[in-house]
Amino acid sequence: MLTRWSGDYLRRKGVEAGRLEAELLLAHVLGVGRLDLYLQYDRPLTEGELGAFKALLRRRAAREPLQYILGRAAFRELELRVDRRALIPRPETEVLVEEVLAWAKGRRGGERGEHQGSDGGTGPGGRREGLWALDLGTGSGAIALSLLREGPFAQVVATDVSSPALDLARQNAEALGFGPRLEFRLGSLFEPLRPEERFHVLVSNPPYVSTGEWQGLQPEVRDWEPPEALLGGEDGLDVIRAVVAGAPDHLVPGGLLALEVGGGQASVVAALLRERGAFRAIEVRRDLAGKERVVLGVAAGDEMKDL
């Protein structure tokens, strides 16, 4: 009865899946799984539990994202801490990660020692097995952590212009035990890198919302998520252009550039890669909704060794 009333209340406030989200909020307050609500349907709520539930319900009615209220979000094999310091990981980005993992499958070392460590070396013994990846604009760390969890990556360098976002990503890395294999650097795009650094994969989910699209976004996005992680200029491509321009200087020959893009941008971004003249095998992949979402390009030059 409570969740039915609460679900109707949320739907009136514009939350489409009101009943489901009301159940998730109540389960969170009670510290049980959502299905347990049906097994304990006659459980009375204490005054404190009811008050806590109503407080969360009001937050969701104000269109605060469910994930921020719960403090967590699922992404592929991970459960990540999330809050207003970074974007909420989305299913579209899971497709981006899937494309990188598909490319990396079977590529177990690439050119050994391509990445120069912070001391000018390449790691223990002067070389390190596995691929090296660069995640530009890591946010919560979802991409970087998924590559380490699921792929043949020895090390990932993750950058972000936002210090609070990097703090959040570090917390997720520590919780998942990936600290030693994940290096965080503060700065915009390629600024935190040294000129000689090269990677086997450069992956990014950059800001790509145009200024004209901003007001049309859902309140959960427009009013709660960090705008600097969303807005990409007049046409949404300002950051993407910068990534495409700088990527060849930080990829080994045969390395992969993988970008998530907005609706209607894929063909334009693919053209940018062709115009750059430093990429081949340029392809576009669709997300689960059938929208062109990922643009891939391979750095020109001889293939990586040991592929």
> Residue type at 5?
W
CB atoms within 10 A of CB 62: 12
Q: Is it the case that residue 227 has pLDDT exceeding 90? A: yes
Are residues 213 and 98 part of one domain? yes
pLDDT at 40 over 90: no
Backbone angles phi and psi of 258, in degrees to 5: -130, 120
Whole-angstrom distance, CA of residue 63 vs CA of residue 177: 33
In angstroms, the CA 93 to CA 205 distance is 7
Q: Which helix (H) or strand (E) holds 269?
A: helix 266-276
Domain extent for 208: 84-299
Confidence of residue 63 (pLDDT cuts 50, 70, 90): very high
Q: Looking at the domain assignment, is residue 184 inside a domain?
A: yes
Quick one: 138 and 199 in the same domain? yes
Identify the pLDDT of residue 302. Answer: 64
Q: pLDDT-derived band of residue 39, with 50, 70 and 90 as boundaries?
A: confident
Question: Is 46 in the same domain as 99?
Answer: no
**127 — pLDDT class (breaks 50, 70, 90):** very low
Has residue 180 got a pLDDT over 80?
A: yes
Are residue 139 and residue 16 in the same domain, yes or no?
no
pLDDT of residue 303: 63
Q: What mean pLDDT do residues 246-256 have?
A: 96
In a domain? residue 124:
yes
Tell me the per-residue pLDDT of 5-19, one tens digit each, with 9 for 90 and over: 999 999 999 999 999
Residue 33 in domain: yes
Question: In this structure, are 45 and 95 located in the same domain?
Answer: no
Tell me which of 112-126, 193-207, 275-289, 291-305 is least confident.
Answer: 112-126
The reply to whether 154 falls in a domain is yes
The count of domains in the chain is 2
197 and 108: one domain? yes
Judgement on whether residues 27 and 164 belong to the same structural domain of the protein: no
Is 38 found in the same domain as 93? no
**Does 206 lie in the same domain as 271?**
yes
Same domain, 58 and 141: no
The structure tokens listed for 40 are 């304990």
Does some domain include residue 71? no
- Amino acid code (one letter) for 44: P
Q: For residue 305, is it within any domain?
A: no
Average pLDDT value over all residues in the chain = 91
- Tokens representing 76 are 């592929």
Q: Which range, 37-51, 94-108, 114-128, 214-228, has the best average confidence (pLDDT)?
A: 214-228
Q: What percent of the chain shows pLDDT beyond 70?
A: 91
More confident residue, 126 or 242: 242
Beta strands in the chain (DSSP E): 72-75, 78-81, 131-136, 153-160, 182-186, 199-204, 251-260, 279-286, 292-299
CA distances from 193 to 14, 68, 259 (A): 44, 31, 19
Is the residue at 70 inside a domain? no
pLDDT at 120 over 60: no
Average the pLDDT over each of 95-104, 114-123, 248-257, 258-267 and give the range with the smallest value: 114-123
Same-domain check for residues 88 and 233? yes
Residue 195 pLDDT > 50: yes
The more confidently predicted of residues 304 and 268 is 268
Chain centroid offset of residue 187 CA = 17
pLDDT, tens digit (0-9, with 9 covering 90-100), for 259-277: 999 999 999 999 999 999 9
Q: Give the β-pairing of 251-260 and 292-299.
A: antiparallel
Report the CATH number that the domain containing residue 32 is assigned in CATH. Answer: 1.10.8
Tell me: pLDDT of 65 over 80.
yes
Question: Domain for residue 194, yes or no?
Answer: yes
